[in-house]
Amino acid sequence: MTKSLNDAYAATKRIALTINGLNDPGATQPSDLQQSGTFPFVVVGPGTGNFGPSARDQQAQEHEITLEIHAPMRQFPKHFDELKAYGDTVASTFLSSTNVVLPDSDGDATVSQITNLSYNFGPLGYGTFETYGWSFTITVRLRIP
């Protein structure tokens, strides 16, 4: 990953983990998730974006980051209401002005704007483990100093 994409990914993950109740699976193997008590957990990764030189010249780059919130498929009824509530929580967390500007750990870039947040709710997967939940696509604009 390039520095700006890594910054966008890291900032998005930091914001997501401020949401009460979400866990980071870390290095937990998919086969160990059920026993580890990490549900619901959040996974953040790169989507699509713009690395073009014009974006660097303009001191801004835009990236789509995927944020997924997972619960075990076989416990669908147990987690449904809890998981459903995360839709509004994620939207309000990421679209609130207090959480938009978030510098990366070494100060090289700042998420200056979230320009779009779209979602799907339904079946997901984590490795070979069947899950369901939210898949958000968050478009972030980075300001490069």
pLDDT tens for each residue of the chain, 145 residues long:
466 677 777 878 888 998 999 988 887 777 777 776 778 899 998 887 765 555 444 456 778 899 999 998 888 888 888 899 999 999 998 887 544 555 555 555 566 678 889 999 999 998 888 999 999 999 887 766 6
| CATH homologous superfamily of 3-24+38-143 | Phage minor tail protein U (3.30.70.1700)
Q: What is the pTM of this model?
A: 0.81
> What is the domain partition of the chain in residue ranges?
3-24+38-143
Beta carbons within 8 Å of 110's beta carbon, 6+ residues apart: 11, 101, 102, 103, 104, 142, 143, 145
